[in-house]
Structure 1
């Protein structure tokens, strides 16, 4: 850290196993596929979901490897905006770094809201399952449940912060055991479809002009299930041996979650049962048709509730991990004067060694985004699109600049200081290009509505409007005021560096 002019102020709590656990729980791939597979089923069908998942798995592995290489070079919590500053052409580095940081902050704040949507919504889904004749589904109930989820994650990230690595380690065990706890009864007790039904059946229930467009609209389902690969990079300053552990955590977590996610997706598609029953179920109206699939398989509300509660618990702790990453990303960007009120947001409480102001703001933003649920039937899709666009465009800028460096060997040799985790020039170039193609396609189609029919103010996907508005605000703020304060990553003073070294000697 001192090499990049930064003082160690956060406690290094994480090792390799706890960081892989953290990243696996945050991405929650098999759990997320259960929660959101319906959009991919409507736009693409079973075969579209299978192909989309495999493509998303490959694309995310390439993203993880690409940003893992940069994280190995510069293991700091700022992540993408920090890397961009050091690899961008000097003329554009300040602006590109600022834009990258701004949209990445947006992506992670929206990511917290999206996972809280699912965790709170699953509680509502269990109410629909167990009280079909008395409970009336209301969107505002889901919003209040989301607030409850955010409140508890706030407690975990403050009062229980020192226990977070252990908590995520325990949740990783539940992540693995819970996978088998759901997969085995589902496949053993549930109805079984044919190989043709799963691997050769496409669908276009969204009524798009043709099947390819329908497929690409539905691919956002699988893309979402892998979001958050860079979470380890934003906790780099809380990891021992970050230059090695961060890239291996990202790649390892995506590899493990990809295997589990693909197996769970196949199980759900083979055990789908009667499609008409699934689509007309009140549980599908509540947003979670997989609960109906569980109920059809085990034929008992209690059994289906236990299986759903397991998914809900894991999504809840995934929200807590996402909350942690979002607050650290905001804190890092504020430390470098990238947001309004930076001095306040960059403060670290000396007693807890936590950025409490950034944690507070990371509570308020998802709470505000949750209000979309009150006025739009596509609120969750809009928040997912914001998450995807914010994270992916920050990846795209970083990776594109790295490709530029790889294609200019004279610059690469003189100016890039590689870390211990390196892909090599030509293999790295192939991986970078695949990642860029994947990102471009994913972002473009994430802004599409689920169907082109009957679009109105309530059913419209408002994410492009919100995304453009936030980015424009950031750009205007930069040219009006921000460029006077944001000059790239701030280099700490010599006194602060010496003080930090003194603290390390004392602790030793």
Structure 2
């Protein structure tokens, strides 16, 4: 197979299939662990198989579950929904978010089966958007995905650093947790991941299987300790008593504001899709692993949310004023009444967060590499290079880590500004979901054919799922820009909207000055296979 290049095939929109009867050795001589279906998909998309297909169902399932880390993140982000809706509001909003994310995951799984590529959303937009808009919409979606996954990595790395600072505070009572310690620990955590994303990359699938076991047993360790050792709140208080502690004037509005934490714990339905070129039989395995991961991740997350709200771990005021850096560390200490017990539980969360960072580096670098391969970024030749013998996009991995290092320095100036940047992950990813799923829904509405899929939702169910996913993503996208409390002071204002708009304006400016000369969109290179 020849790499992408040559004259764009503007007539190729929606005419490819997954059949491989016509594929011969002259099209691809090295499948790098793929099978005939993988070979056919790569041939149709006119992409060279540069990465080795090391992943199988269990390893990609473990990869996605560790990257999502829903039950860990739900503990970390507890205070925002707790002060915006109370215990009952948090539980019911999590349930609503889970239902919405199921629709999003189903939509993404179908798209991943149609075109299993590291590009993900921007590639799907290019194939399914109206021809006159495919290039600019695909380009913007590519930038949104880059922004979303790069900032998600930064936010998770800082969460792991805060967990480590909480562990230090448990061991050293007078520890003040200065910001520069958080920066150094963030940088250290990110730098460790380069080993697993370079030298040990071929061992990563086997590693994911082992960590999957730790993830599941870790959940039950925290789950059982909290239920056995913690005091229990009355069921009515937990499930039926709503609060508007921040003073929004409406419990419903407070719950929607608090949903940011819930959606942030579960966002990332596309995470495994960006490894579509490193998975054997991707068009069949990828969508099913995405659904399996969603079922397990969402179930464990909901059970942990109910647990952490049922067990009395302290008042909101006590959790906010904790001496242990993070509220959940205070909960662990209050429940176990032991520094050692709290240290063990916090260490478990830290380990799982670290392995989530490893997987986020992989996803973020693959998406960056793919977009550069289609010439959507500055220095695309450098970012899209795969070093001979390595079979990994090393340059994209290094740039991803360098971005995290630079952004982490913002913590020194303002941790609030850093968290604002981190929330860009949600806005960018939800915006990319709206665009790509919207393009598929439009094709279904007007009756245009879609690409064949080995995970086909069907026209009626598919349209319902797509529209439900879009409606959910639009609501979440809107509330990402709300402050966590009414009438915030300037330092605590949610600046996400400003940064989001600035990035989009930069992307559009870059597109009109240079990008549109180099970027054609993946659809212009796809081959006819019939």
TM range (shorter): over 0.9
Match runs of 1:314-329 below 5 Å: 314-329=352-367
Number of residue equivalences: 486
**1:232 is aligned to 2:266:** no
Kept in 2: contact 1:193–1:273 (CA 8 A): no
Where does residue 308 of structure 2 map in the other structure?
268
**1:258 is aligned to 2:298:** yes
Separation of aligned partners in 1, 2:317 and 2:256: 26
Where does residue 461 of structure 2 map in the other structure?
427
Shift of 1:490: 7.7
Separation of aligned partners in 2, 1:224 and 1:370: 19
Query: Which of 457, 480, 489 is 1:446 aligned to?
Result: 480
Where does residue 105 of structure 1 map in the other structure?
146
**1:202 is aligned to 2:235:** no
Query: Which of 500, 507, 510 is 1:467 aligned to?
Result: 500
Shift of 1:186: 1.0
Kept in 1: contact 2:107–2:437 (CA 8 A): yes
Where does residue 27 of structure 2 map in the other structure?
none
Where does residue 431 of structure 2 map in the other structure?
393
Where does residue 501 of structure 1 map in the other structure?
none
**Secondary structure, aligned partner of 1:423:** coil
Cα distance change, pair 50–220 in 1 and its aligned pair in 2 (3 A): same
Query: Which of 86, 90, 94 is 1:49 aligned to?
Result: 90
**1:6 is aligned to 2:47:** yes
Kept in 2: contact 1:47–1:198 (CA 8 A): yes
Separation of aligned partners in 1, 2:389 and 2:130: 40
Kept in 1: contact 2:108–2:270 (CA 8 A): yes
Separation of aligned partners in 1, 2:66 and 2:261: 18
Where does residue 356 of structure 1 map in the other structure?
394
Where does residue 379 of structure 2 map in the other structure?
341
Name which of structure 1's ranges 335-344 and 159-168 shifts more when overlaid on structure 2.
159-168
Superposed CA RMSD in Å reads 1.6
Where does residue 140 of structure 1 map in the other structure?
180
Separation of aligned partners in 1, 2:297 and 2:234: 25
Kept in 2: contact 1:208–1:451 (CA 8 A): yes
Kept in 1: contact 2:44–2:526 (CA 8 A): no
**1:220 is aligned to 2:260:** yes
Query: Which of 281, 291, 301 is 1:241 aligned to?
Result: 281
Q: Structure 2: which 5+ residue stretches go unaligned? A: 1-41
Where does residue 498 of structure 1 map in the other structure?
none
**1:383 is aligned to 2:383:** no
Match runs of 1:65-84 below 5 Å: 65-84=106-125
Query: Which of 492, 499, 512 is 1:479 aligned to?
Result: 512
**Secondary structure, aligned partner of 2:519:** coil
**Secondary structure, aligned partner of 2:231:** coil
Kept in 2: contact 1:5–1:491 (CA 8 A): no
Separation of aligned partners in 2, 1:280 and 1:234: 37
Name which of structure 1's ranges 485-494 and 155-164 shifts more when overlaid on structure 2.
485-494
Where does residue 85 of structure 1 map in the other structure?
126
Kept in 2: contact 1:29–1:225 (CA 8 A): yes
Shift of 1:94: 0.6
**TM-score (ref. length: structure 2):** 0.89
Where does residue 202 of structure 2 map in the other structure?
162
**Secondary structure, aligned partner of 2:77:** helix
Separation of aligned partners in 2, 1:431 and 1:39: 29
**Secondary structure, aligned partner of 1:237:** coil
Where does residue 502 of structure 1 map in the other structure?
none
Kept in 1: contact 2:319–2:331 (CA 8 A): no
Shift of 1:131: 1.8
Q: Structure 1: which 5+ residue stretches go unaligned? A: 495-508
Where does residue 31 of structure 2 map in the other structure?
none
Cα offsets for 1:388-439 (capped at 9, x unmatched): 1111111110111111111112x22xxx222110111111111111111111
Cα offsets for 1:193-213 (capped at 9, x unmatched): 011121112222322232222
Separation of aligned partners in 2, 1:191 and 1:446: 34
**TM-score (ref. length: structure 1):** 0.93
Separation of aligned partners in 2, 1:140 and 1:202: 38
